[in-house]
């Protein structure tokens, strides 16, 4: 494949100025100085039906096709949602269609060389419309090799730092454009309310307000001003797939309209308000209607109520699933019809779309004007991203951006801010003088799995494992490593026995447990996309490993590497120290070690409740008052660790909760202030959280809802007054008729260190 450099790219574009007609000046769509709306209309007027429908279709990359047709069967394709090829349509055919201008987008193109090559083919077409390359850049563009791997979204959310979300998205956009990639299928703004669901790690947690804040900043970071340095954001998955009936990805979702509007819609609406210009619908059916053919979602709400101006894209083969899974369309053609007429703009992915959609138009079932609507949206994005003027990336300069020192530093700082200290009975921070010989073991102790889901294999120098981080931070310590392998489902009893034996000879034992998310081992994963569980227990021999090492009587601590909350109740009750690192990214090992040895004071808080067992699901902090009217018998009704919880190496005291008034008019505002003091001996950052409760209302309301938060840096002995503003939107809910209302009456303000009642100061005011 050719690596097209900018000068050659310019030559190709200039050549195209005269290839579509005799009068170059008439090609208004090639004029970069013309208004985008006029360029779109000019280009649209020149397109055949086949070219229009092709812009609405996406294909996997040709290298992806070649790799998978060698080992996947047609039967495999029916359930595989990560890999594909097109039986009967080899890569050569896809190349030919690209040159014919009937493919508008590709995904799973993982190198700059392939992206430039496919773009070169597209610019040989009649109208020379450039390809838009989409990629699952979920936490950095690290689904491609040699890109910065930041912590996954659940760890980012643990920082309660929207500014960090913006910064990571901004840097990701730059790395993507350096690879000629233009569209990230992120942020995932689903509200995760079932820990069994394997995609919790892709989300910002269980709270609509936190998810909305992190999501909107991600959108702004990706899209910037929508020019040649920016990428298209995609808010997904619309909607409800994060609370499936059985915890499995793509299973039916059955929710009241009230819950949909109050819990699941707000982050999507915030993303639209932030300017998101693409949205992906969800795998699942919602109340009996597949999301991919749901006119209420795509047209009535998204465009009608929220004024969304971008385009809607399907998820992987989900339009096909309207026919072959949900069975609400009797054939593929009918599925395409239902989806387009409901509001779908772009199809991911497949070979039959062009033929069947063109048939539907020629038969008069789909008006060509409806096709034009979608194509206008897609072309408008391509113009705004500057693809007509800058269709290639330069291989000679790509690594000046990717993995640059600034981006590496951001990845390290984000990991430091996202690791949650759950328990510390005085063992932390570790004293290297006291613990001279330390056992390190567990499936995630020395494994690149810390990079998380949606990560390609990276070079060893681009990932610091936890064992490597420990050696880096405490070089004088004798670390004894017992490798338990990467696969929790095939742990060796002999290796467990070896670790227990060596634990007896060590001063301290560190066990790095959790899940396996790495995509290269797709069939052996225990967490991630399409990897859902009926249990939250540690998989394999991990629990035995922890219990037996604990039984040696030597000091022991556990680090969790996971994309979902785990039910580690025994660990929490017995082991002196517990750290939840989530999926901390390329410098996760260094960040974990820095926290363990006190080089960094942990500050993160849980963005999602940790239940004790799967039997507690649904375990959320913002539940309704009657949820535990009758508590569980035998086992507790309380979570293992509540939303917003996280420890520090210092102590924070909250005092002087003051309201600016005890009354507020329904269209006014009210100030809430609280004094926070670092009463310990270590500088730290406290995440101050404000919750509200409507005491009495015409419909039931949650016992508390997060409505604001702030990160506050405090030196030892320092106090700061933190101020929040209560505005009508923070008090609003949907009345009996699902209309927004601010109802008169008493509200309680709660401010503190977590959502747990014992961590909150309380005051009340009346809305008049």
CB 274 within 8 A of CB 319: no
How many Å apart are CA 566 and CA 564, to the nearest integer? 6
Q: For 100-124, what is the mean pLDDT?
A: 98
Residues in the chain: 768
CB-CB neighbours of 555 under 10 Å? 20
Nearest alpha-carbon partner for 81 in 535, 489, 486, 454: 454
Phi first, then psi, for residue 153 (nearest 5°) are -60, -35
Tens digit of pLDDT for each residue in 558-594?
999 999 999 999 999 999 999 999 999 999 999 999 9
CATH classification of 6-15+46-400, choosing from 3.10.20.340, 3.10.20.30, 3.20.20.300, 3.30.70.100?
Answer: 3.20.20.300
Q: What is the mean pLDDT of residues 166-188?
A: 98
| CATH, range 652-767 | 2.60.40.10
- Encoded tokens for 305: 């109520």
Known catalytic residue at 315: yes
Q: Give the whole-angstrom CA distance, residue 341 versus residue 293.
A: 8
Supply the DSSP string of 561-590, one letter for each residue: E-SS----HHHHHH-SEEEE--S--TTHHH
What pLDDT, on a 0 to 100 scale, did the predictor assign at position 25?
53
CA 247 to chain centre: 18
Q: Which CATH superfamily is domain 419-616 in?
A: Glycoside hydrolase family 3 C-terminal domain (3.40.50.1700)
Tokens of 417: 């801010």
| Contact of 68 with 89, CB cutoff 8 Å | no
* Beta strands 235-238 and 556-561, pairing class: unpaired
CA distance 81 to 35: 39
Classify strands 132-135 and 105-107 as parallel, antiparallel or unpaired.
Answer: parallel
In DSSP terms, which residues pair with 765 in a beta bridge? 747
How many angstroms separate the CA atoms of 68 and 731, rounded? 52
Q: With H, G, I as helix, E, B as strand and everything else as coil, classify residue 133.
A: strand
Which helix or strand (DSSP H or E) is residue 626 part of?
A: none
CA 658 to chain centroid: 37
Please give the Cα distance from 724 to 730 (Å, whole number): 11
* Token output for 185: 């299928």
Angle (CA) 102-105-108 rounded to 5° is 130
Token digits for 450? 């810390």
Structure tokens at 284: 């699942």
Domains of the chain, residue spans: 6-15+46-400, 419-616, 652-767
Question: What is the mean pLDDT of the segment spanning 196-214?
Answer: 98
User: How far is it, in rounded angstroms, from Cα 127 to Cα 386?
Assistant: 16
- In this prediction, residues 11-32 reach a mean pLDDT of 58
The yes-or-no verdict on residue 5 having pLDDT over 90 is no
455-509 pLDDT per residue, tens: 999 999 999 999 999 999 999 999 999 999 999 999 999 999 999 999 999 999 9
> What is the rounded distance in angstroms from the CA atom of residue 513 to the CA atom of residue 511?
6
Rounded to two decimals, what is the model's pTM? 0.96
Task: Concatenate the DSSP letters of all residues of 464-477 into one string.
Answer: --HHHHHHHH-TTS
On the question of pLDDT at 273 being above 80, the answer is yes
Catalytic residue among 194, 230, 315, 345: 315
């Amino acid at each position: 494949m050719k690596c097209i450099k900018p000068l050659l790219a310019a030559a190709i574009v200039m050549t195209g100025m005269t290839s579509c007609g005799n009068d170059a000046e008439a090609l208004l769509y090639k004029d970069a100085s013309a208004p985008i709306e006029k360029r779109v209309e000019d280009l649209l007027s020149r397109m055949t039906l086949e070219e229009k429908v092709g812009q609405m279709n996406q294909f996997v990359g040709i290298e992806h096709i070649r790799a998978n047709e060698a080992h996947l069967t047609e039967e495999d394709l029916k359930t595989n949602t990560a890999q594909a090829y097109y039986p009967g349509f080899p890569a050569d055919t896809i190349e030919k269609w690209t040159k014919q201008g009937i493919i508008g987008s590709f995904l799973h193109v993982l190198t700059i060389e392939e992206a430039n090559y496919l773009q070169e083919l597209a610019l040989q077409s009649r109208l020379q419309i450039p390809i838009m390359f989409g990629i699952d850049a979920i936490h950095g563009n690290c689904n491609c090799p040699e890109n910065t791997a930041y912590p996954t979204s659940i760890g980012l959310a643990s920082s309660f730092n929207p500014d960090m979300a913006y910064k990571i998205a901004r840097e990701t956009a730059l790395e993507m454009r350096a690879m000629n990639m233009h569209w990230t299928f992120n942020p995932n703004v689903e509200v995760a309310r079932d820990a069994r669901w394997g995609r919790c790690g892709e989300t910002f947690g269980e709270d609509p307000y936190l998810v909305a804040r992190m999501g909107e900043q991600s959108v702004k970071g990706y899209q910037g001003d929508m020019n040649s340095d920016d990428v298209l954001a995609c808010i997904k998955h619309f909607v409800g797939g994060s609370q499936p009936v059985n915890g499995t990805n793509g299973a039916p979702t059955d929710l009241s309209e009230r819950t949909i509007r109050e819990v699941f819609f707000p982050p999507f609406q915030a993303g639209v308000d932030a300017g998101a210009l693409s949205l992906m619908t969800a795998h699942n059916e919602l109340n009996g209607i597949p999301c991919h053919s749901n006119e209420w979602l795509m047209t009535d709400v998204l465009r009608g109520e929220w004024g969304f101006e971008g385009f809607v894209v399907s998820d992987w083969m989900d339009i096909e699933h309207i026919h072959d899974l949900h069975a609400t369309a009797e054939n593929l053609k009918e599925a395409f019809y239902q989806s387009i007429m409901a509001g779908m703009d772009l199809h991911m992915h497949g070979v039959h779309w062009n033929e069947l959609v063109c048939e539907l138009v020629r038969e008069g079932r789909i008006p060509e004007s409806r096709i034009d609507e979608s194509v206008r949206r897609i072309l408008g994005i391509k113009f705004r991203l500057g693809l007509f003027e800058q269709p290639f990336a330069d291989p000679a300069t790509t690594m000046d951006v990717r993995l640059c020192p600034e981006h590496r530093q951001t990845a390290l700082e984000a990991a430091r801010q996202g690791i949650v200290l759950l328990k510390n009975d005085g063992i932390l921070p570790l004293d290297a003088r006291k613990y001279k010989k330390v056992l390190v073991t567990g499936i995630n102790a020395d494994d690149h799995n810390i990079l998380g889901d949606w990560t390609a294999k990276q070079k060893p120098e681009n990932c610091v494992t936890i064992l490597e981080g420990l050696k880096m931070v405490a070089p004088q310590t004798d670390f004894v490593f017992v490798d338990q392998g990467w696969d929790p489902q095939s742990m060796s009893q002999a290796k467990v026995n070896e670790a227990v034996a060596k634990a007896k000879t060590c001063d301290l034992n560190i066990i790095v447990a959790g899940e396996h998310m790495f995509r290269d081992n797709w069939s052996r994963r225990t967490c991630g996309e399409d990897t859902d569980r009926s249990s939250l227990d540690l998989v394999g021999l991990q629990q035995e490993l922890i219990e037996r090492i604990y039984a040696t009587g030597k000091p022991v601590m556990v680090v969790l590497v996971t994309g979902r909350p785990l039910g580690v109740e025994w660990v929490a009750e017995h082991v002196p120290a517990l750290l939840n690192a989530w999926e901390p990214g390329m410098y996760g090992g260094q960040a974990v070690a820095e926290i363990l040895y006190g080089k960094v004071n942990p500050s993160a808080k849980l963005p999602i409740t940790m239940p004790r067992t799967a039997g507690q699901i649904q375990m959320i902090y913002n539940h309704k008052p009657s949820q535990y009217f009758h508590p569980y018998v035998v086992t507790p009704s309380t979570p293992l660790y509540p939303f917003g919880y996280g420890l520090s190496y210092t102590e924070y005291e909250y005092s002087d909760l003051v309201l600016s008034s005890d009354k507020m008019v329904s269209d006014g505002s009210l100030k809430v202030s609280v004094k926070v003091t670092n009463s310990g001996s270590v500088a730290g950052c406290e995440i101050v959280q404000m919750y509200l409760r409507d005491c009495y209302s015409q419909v039931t309301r949650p016992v508390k809802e997060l409505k604001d938060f702030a990160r506050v840096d405090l030196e030892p002995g320092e106090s700061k007054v933190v101020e929040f503003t209560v505005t009508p939107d923070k008090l609003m809910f949907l009345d009996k008729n699902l209309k927004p209302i601010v109802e008169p009456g008493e509200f309680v303000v709660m401010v503190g260190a977590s959502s747990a009642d014992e961590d909150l100061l309380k005051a009340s005011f009346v809305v008049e």
